[in-house]
């Protein structure tokens, strides 16, 4: 039976109604008919087909397309005065250079110098990275070589793809992201001191000593991204490469300053725009001096101890941040102080350090150096959606889950109001904020930035939320909700990747609406990505490169971002894909979030299909992509 016109309309009406409800929550509405096909409305098909013969020939044509590079820069916009005009704000900075370290080196003799080569080497001897190797290929900056056009031919498109008609606003930011510890390598070279990431690996895992050798290959990495047409490059700076001794009053590593200087200038010369994260989990190891083993254990809030609670951390981080801002804010329009701070917070004092040091750096940026770019911090929260949005208990669980992860930071730093109850109940040793603190912190984020990889279906734990928040032995502590990845009918909420990431574009739109309407600042998607299930097990590179599930992930997420902008009226400022290449994922290389395959023996990279699909999607919908 063909389905009648009236059924079709009611189907479309229900879809419309559901789209409007998606604004608020995901609500389950039973539908008994066949699937509506709104795009078929008005098609006037005859009741039966007409069959006919013709002369067969291979007349099928295939179009092909080359990726085109971003246009090289002709002028450079500035967002602050250059370091030469700001250096007086950092009166006592001195700089030094150090060499490399290896356990077999003969000891340096300048032992009288508290910051000499011997003192620097002894930092590494103290850190004693397990199984230390320097098996990297490179020991000096590699000159970039232009990409042959053969590397830039778009792959075949997936048969099913986006059907939207929206464009991105002119000022929409599109780019790719990475972090220092996951890509740089060269961990004990050219003056870099040891940090948490250099000794992170637990038994059975491997530390990061080589990774992608981006410290030497950055020009080639940028050349590749620019050739593909990527506009923004989001990277993090390693604090221990700028200040190997970490503390104010200790010398700056000239090689570190010069490295990031050159990286920024090279990005700009290619017509791309840099964004900088000041701290992406790589706390200098000195902040664990009393007991390096404490980095994993007894962490009340996050899953690793980032030492933010160390009483010397705030002053030292602010000092380090000021060094970055005075040196680079003239050319860098977007700054993130912390990456996902909750995950590396130990206790209430950790959070206190994060919010206070963020606010101090934001004030320094706006009030002192009068930066005209934007500053904020980026948060983790795989959005908690209520198992049943019509159930008050599930709603309360979702509210608690998101408030704990987001409101803890943005209540003070955006709204200028106190920490949420979700945080105060869970972390009773929190440091109280008074009205002076709150007035100072208010509006110190220009955007709300999240890394919304996927969604989580939440409900209350046995005994309820409060029984859990007051019992740190509860298996649900500290989030104090049950987290599932299935819906009420036991289906997974989306296609599953290698690990916790499911393809959940509908929930992304709900999340974006939640952020915009709760905090009322532009929403910035600062990481999102998908480790395709079994990608590492695929025997041939050709199969690894044909990553259709990742394309589905990215194009569906980008389509929902467009709907948020045009249908919900949300200012989504931009989206940064994680990551521009497969990299070290804090212990191994198994979860591959990359848009490029990396050969670990030769450091050769290849663009995956999804990279072409994603950049192509944005360019097709961003008429002034080149000029913004
Ligand atoms: C769908 O079918 C069930 C069982 O026959 C019925 O109870 C329900 O009302 C129907 N729902 C709609 C929307 O037609
Ligand atoms: C240090 O020397 C030992 C013994 O000769 C050697 O096995 C090891 O590879 C060397 N380590 C490095 C990092 O050069
Ligand atoms: C060090 O090497 C040993 C032997 O290969 C291995 O079992 C261990 O997991 C490694 N440890 C780290 C932290 O890399
Ligand atoms: C905190 O950091 C300082 C270095 O700034 C260090 O001396 C001290 O031991 C650290 N505290 C702990 C508990 O590790
Ligand atoms: C160092 O921290 C570890 C892990 O928390 C703990 O087991 C150990 O007792 C601590 N050592 C000292 C000397 O405090
Ligand atoms: C809501 O969910 C809770 C927890 O699963 C359950 O106990 C309660 O009965 C539900 N309420 C309604 C009205 O369905
Ligand atoms: C508020 O707390 C800060 C410490 O965070 C303190 O320096 C200040 O004096 C307090 N102000 C008032 C009005 O209590
Ligand atoms: C806290 O949770 C643990 C683990 O579920 C449980 O054994 C213990 O009885 C709880 N304590 C209280 C006071 O409820
Ligand atoms: C969802 O998955 C969890 C964990 O696997 C399971 O316990 C639960 O029964 C499933 N179904 C629902 C509706 O939560």
Q: Who has greater pLDDT, 241 or 13?
A: 241
Position 318 scores a pLDDT of 98
Q: Is 132 in the pocket of ligand 2 (CB under 6 A)?
A: yes
Q: Is 130 in the pocket of ligand 2 (CB under 6 A)?
A: no
Question: Using CA positions, which residue lies closest to atom 3 of ligand 6?
Answer: 393
pLDDT tens-place string over residues 371-407: 999 999 999 999 999 999 889 999 999 999 999 999 9
Please give the model's pTM, rounded to 2 decimal places.
0.94
Q: Is 314 in the pocket of ligand 7 (CB under 6 A)?
A: no
Q: Tell me how crowded residue 568 is: count the other CB atoms within 10 A of its CB.
A: 18
Q: Which ligand ends up closest to the CA of 468?
A: 8
Would you kindly state where each structural domain of the chain is located, as residue ranges?
77-390+437-457+502-627
Position 26 scores a pLDDT of 60
- For the chain, the average pLDDT equals 93
Three-class DSSP category at 398:
helix
Choose among 583, 594, 506, 512: nearest CA to 550.
594
Question: Using CA positions, which residue lies closest to atom 4 of ligand 9?
Answer: 484
Mean pLDDT for 461-484 is 97
Q: Is 490 in the pocket of ligand 9 (CB under 6 A)?
A: yes
Mean pLDDT for 582-598 is 93
Ligand 2 atom nearest the C-alpha of 132 is 13
Is residue 430 within 8 A of residue 419, CB to CB? The reply is: yes
Please check the confidence at residue 79 and state whether its pLDDT lies above 60: yes
Q: Is 437 in the pocket of ligand 7 (CB under 6 A)?
A: yes
Determine what percent of the chain is predicted with pLDDT higher than 70. Answer: 95
Q: Is 288 in the pocket of ligand 4 (CB under 6 A)?
A: yes
Burial of 12 (0-12, 13-18, 19+ CB in 10 A): middle
Cα distance between residue 219 and residue 215, in whole Å: 9
Q: Is 286 in the pocket of ligand 4 (CB under 6 A)?
A: yes
Three-point CA angle 544, 547, 550, nearest 5°:
135
Residue 232 dihedral angles phi and psi, to the nearest 5°: -110, 140
Listing DSSP states for 506-545 in one string gives HHHHHHHHHHHHHH-S-EEE-------TTGGG-SSHHHHH
Cα distance between residue 359 and residue 370, in whole Å: 15
Q: Is 100 in the pocket of ligand 2 (CB under 6 A)?
A: no
Mean pLDDT for 147-172 is 96
What would the two tokens of residue 95 be?
């700089």
Position 297 scores a pLDDT of 67
Mutation test residue for ligand 9: of 486, 496, 502, the one with most atoms within 8 Å of CB: 486
H helices of 96-166, in order, are 117-127
Burial of 499 (0-12, 13-18, 19+ CB in 10 A): middle
CA of 142 to the centre of ligand 6 (A): 61
Least confident of 196-210, 220-234, 459-473, 566-580: 196-210
Cα distance between residue 603 and residue 614, in whole Å: 23
Question: Using CA positions, which residue lies closest to atom 12 of ligand 8?
Answer: 471
Q: Which ligand ends up closest to the CA of 246?
A: 4
Q: Which ligand ends up closest to the CA of 298?
A: 5
Cα distance between residue 444 and residue 338, in whole Å: 13
Question: Using CA positions, which residue lies closest to atom 1 of ligand 1?
Answer: 32
Give the pLDDT band (50/70/90) at residue 628. Answer: low
Domain 77-390+437-457+502-627 in CATH 3.20.20.80? The answer is: yes
Rg (CA), the chain: 26
Ligand 8 atom nearest the C-alpha of 463 is 14
pLDDT tens-place string over residues 423-441: 999 999 999 999 999 999 9
Cα distance between residue 290 and residue 273, in whole Å: 40
Question: Using CA positions, which residue lies closest to atom 14 of ligand 1?
Answer: 32
Question: Using CA positions, which residue lies closest to atom 3 of ligand 2?
Answer: 104
Q: Is 290 in the pocket of ligand 4 (CB under 6 A)?
A: yes
pLDDT tens-place string over residues 312-344: 999 999 999 999 999 999 999 999 999 999 999
């Amino acid at each position: 039976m063909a389905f009648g016109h009236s059924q079709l309309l009611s189907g479309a009406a229900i879809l419309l109604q559901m789209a409007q409800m998606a604004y608020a929550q995901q609500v389950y509405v039973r539908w008994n008919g066949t699937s509506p096909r709104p795009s078929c409305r008005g098609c006037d098909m005859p009741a039966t087909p007409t069959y006919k013969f013709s002369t067969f020939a291979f007349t099928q044509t295939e179009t092909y397309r080359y990726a085109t590079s971003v246009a090289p820069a002709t002028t450079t916009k500035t967002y602050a005065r250059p370091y030469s005009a700001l250096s007086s704000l950092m009166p006592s900075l001195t700089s030094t250079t150090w060499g490399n370290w290896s356990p077999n080196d003969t000891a340096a003799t300048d032992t009288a110098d508290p910051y000499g080569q011997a003192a620097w080497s002894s930092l590494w001897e103290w850190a004693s990275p397990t199984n230390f190797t320097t098996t990297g290929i490179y020991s000096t900056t590699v000159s970039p070589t232009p990409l042959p056009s053969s590397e830039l031919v778009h792959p075949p498109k997936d048969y099913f793809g986006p059907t939207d008609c929206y464009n991105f606003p002119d000022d929409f930011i599109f780019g790719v992201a990475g972090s220092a510890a996951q890509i740089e390598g060269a961990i004990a070279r050219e003056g870099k001191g040891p940090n948490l990431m250099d000794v992170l690996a637990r038994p059975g895992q491997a530390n990061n000593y080589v990774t992608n050798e981006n410290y030497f290959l950055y020009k080639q990495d940028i050349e590749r991204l620019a050739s593909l047409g990527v506009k923004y490059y989001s990277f993090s700076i390693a604090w221990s490469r700028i200040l190997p001794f970490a503390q104010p009053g200790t010398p700056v590593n000239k090689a570190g300053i010069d490295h990031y200087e050159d990286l920024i200038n090279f990005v700009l010369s290619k017509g791309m725009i840099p964004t900088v994260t000041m701290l992406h989990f790589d706390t200098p190891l000195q902040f664990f001096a009393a007991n390096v083993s404490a980095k994993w254990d007894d962490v009340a809030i996050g899953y690793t101890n980032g030492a933010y609670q160390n009483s010397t951390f705030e002053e030292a981080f602010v000092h380090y941040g000021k060094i970055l801002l005075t040196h680079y804010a003239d050319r860098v329009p977007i700054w993130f102080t912390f990456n996902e701070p909750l995950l590396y917070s130990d206790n209430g004092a950790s959070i206190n350090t994060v919010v206070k040091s963020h606010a101090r750096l934001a004030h320094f940026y706006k009030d002192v150096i009068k930066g005209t770019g934007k500053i904020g911090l980026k948060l983790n929260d795989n959005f908690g959606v209520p198992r049943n949005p019509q159930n008050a208990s599930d709603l309360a669980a979702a509210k608690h889950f998101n408030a704990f992860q987001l409101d803890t930071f943005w209540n003070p730093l955006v709204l200028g109001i106190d920490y949420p109850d979700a945080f105060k109940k869970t972390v009773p040793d929190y440091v109280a904020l008074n009205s002076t603190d709150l007035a100072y912190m208010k509006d110190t984020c220009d955007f709300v930035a999240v890394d919304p990889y996927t969604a989580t279906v939440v409900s209350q734990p046995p005994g309820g939320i409060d029984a859990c928040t007051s019992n740190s032995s509860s298996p649900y502590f500290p989030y104090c909700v049950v987290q599932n990845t299935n819906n009420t009918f036991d289906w997974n909420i989306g296609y599953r990747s290698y690990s916790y990431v499911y393809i959940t574009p509908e929930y992304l739109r709900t999340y974006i609406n939640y952020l915009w309407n709760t905090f009322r600042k532009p929403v910035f998607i600062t990481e999102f990505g998908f480790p395709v299930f079994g990608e590492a097990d695929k025997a041939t590179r050709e199969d690894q490169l044909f990553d259709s599930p990742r394309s589905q992930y990215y194009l569906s997420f980008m389509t929902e971002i467009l709907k948020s902008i045009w249908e919900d009226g949300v200012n989504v400022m931009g989206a940064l894909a994680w990551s521009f290449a497969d990299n070290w994922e804090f212990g191994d290389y198994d979860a591959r979030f990359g848009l490029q395959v990396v050969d670990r023996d030769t450091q050769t990279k290849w663009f995956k299909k999804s990279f072409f699909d994603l950049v192509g999607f944005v360019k097709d919908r961003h008429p002034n992509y080149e000029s913004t």
